[in-house]
Amino acid sequence: MTHLTADSMAELFSGAVTLAKSGERVSPRGMATREVRDVHMLLTQPRARLLYAPPTRILNPAFAVAETVWHLSGSDAAWIFDYNTRLRQYADDGVLRGAYGPRMRNWAGKVDQLDRVVETLKEDPDSRRALIQLYDPAQDAAGHKDVPCTLGFRFHLRNGRLHMATTMRGQDVWIGMPYDVFFYTVLHELVAGWLDAELGEFHLYVGSLHMYENHLAQADQLTSLAASPLMPDLTTPWRGFDGLLGQVAARDLTGHPGWDTMARTLRSYRLWKDSRREQAWRVADGIDGPLGQALTAWYGELHRRAESSATPATTGAR
């Protein structure tokens, strides 16, 4: 097993990219890929979760926020497509059948696994049974397009610190990893808060760490990255948590500084999608910390793409 250790997402991403580029050539589903098998990644500061790596890799932080809220709320609703239209290609009849949320919060229509993890560790802090299972053979062998890459989560409360481990069958470094780690570490932070525990180490175990060859040229341009700063605190009581998520999804302020930053990010992006670009910029400029910086960079990237794709006829039209 190959091991990578990092203090922030920037360092972890850079190391994973370098590793994946050196991987073996394989072609699952006919797609040329570089792959390294059996990789363990350790992030020592889970709140240093947001990758900021312009101009080579620019994230849409609104999607990172939206996907996190979508998962945590137990949803498979189509509103997630407003933040990432490419997800539609993986939907069956308009639904992403592999959505994590329903499996995590309402497994088989019966079990809120997130609630059960918290209760398990409150009842027995040394328990080894604090698990969330996502992969479901009964559903995922059926042939739908969206099959979870994430198999599940494990939580261990030791000496007052909560450690979390995520196991994945496969991890696409260039596209998926920055968004996945954002969600995983928010979940980690929340559970630690509900247990009144310190935030421990985050571990990511990947069966196939890979990069598609059409991303190699971009990856070659990645230079040294500054360490990712810590995100604002997101700990919040379990009671009322689902209501808070509903407010954030609706882009409403909650009174919680960290979650209000998330809500403002979604609000700004909704303005951008509604072609109210000046207002979107103004809201983004007012978002403190890493999310505001990342959102401003994303709008710059969208503007650059629009200009580069414009034809002479389009640019000269009145």
Q: What whole-number distance in Å separates Cα of residue 61 and Cα of residue 286?
A: 15
Query: Considering Cα of 38, then 43, then 49, then 54, what sign does the dihedral take?
Result: negative
Residue 180 near residue 141, CB atoms below 8 Å: no
Please report, for residues 31, 74, 142, 164, 270, the alpha-carbon distance to residue 187 in angstroms, rounded to integers and kept in the order given. Answer: 32, 13, 28, 9, 24
Residue 189's Cβ-count burial label (10 Å; 0-12, 13-18, 19+) is buried
Give the confidence band of 85 by pLDDT, cuts at 50, 70, 90: very high
User: How large is the average pLDDT for residues 142-164?
Assistant: 95
Exposure class string for 106-142: b at 16+ Cβ within 10 A, else e: ebeeeeebbeebbebbeeebeeeebebebbeeeeeee
Please state, as a whole number, how many other Cβ atoms lie within 10 Å of the Cβ of residue 145.
Answer: 11
pLDDT recorded at residue 312: 54
In the chain, the percentage of residues whose pLDDT exceeds 90 is 92
- As a whole number, the mean pLDDT across the chain is 95
Amino acid at 226: A
In the chain, the percentage of residues whose pLDDT exceeds 70 is 97
pLDDT recorded at residue 317: 34
Q: In the chain, where are the structural domains located?
A: 2-234
Residue 287 in tokens: 């978002």
pLDDT recorded at residue 308: 84
Is the backbone of residue 240 left (phi > 0), alpha (psi -120 to 50) or beta? Answer: left
Please report, for residues 72, 188, 301, the alpha-carbon distance to residue 304 in angstroms, rounded to integers and kept in the order given. Answer: 33, 35, 5
Q: What whole-number distance in Å separates Cα of residue 258 and Cα of residue 256?
A: 6
For residue 142, pLDDT beyond 90? no
* CATH of range 2-234; options 1.10.3720.10, 3.40.640.10, 3.30.572.10, 1.10.1660.10: 3.30.572.10
Per DSSP, 89 falls in state G
Least confident of 127-131, 134-138, 262-266: 134-138
**What are the residue numbers of the active site?**
149
pLDDT recorded at residue 307: 86
Radius of gyration in angstroms for the set of CA atoms belonging to the chain, rounded to a whole number: 20
Range of 138-147, 201-210, 299-308 with top mean pLDDT: 201-210
Give the confidence band of 314 by pLDDT, cuts at 50, 70, 90: very low
User: How large is the average pLDDT for residues 43-61?
Assistant: 96
> How much is the pTM?
0.95
**Long-range contacts formed by 243-248: CB under 8 A, 24+ apart:** 245/69, 245/72, 245/73, 246/73, 248/65, 248/69
pLDDT recorded at residue 318: 25
Least confident of 66-80, 129-143, 176-190, 243-257: 129-143
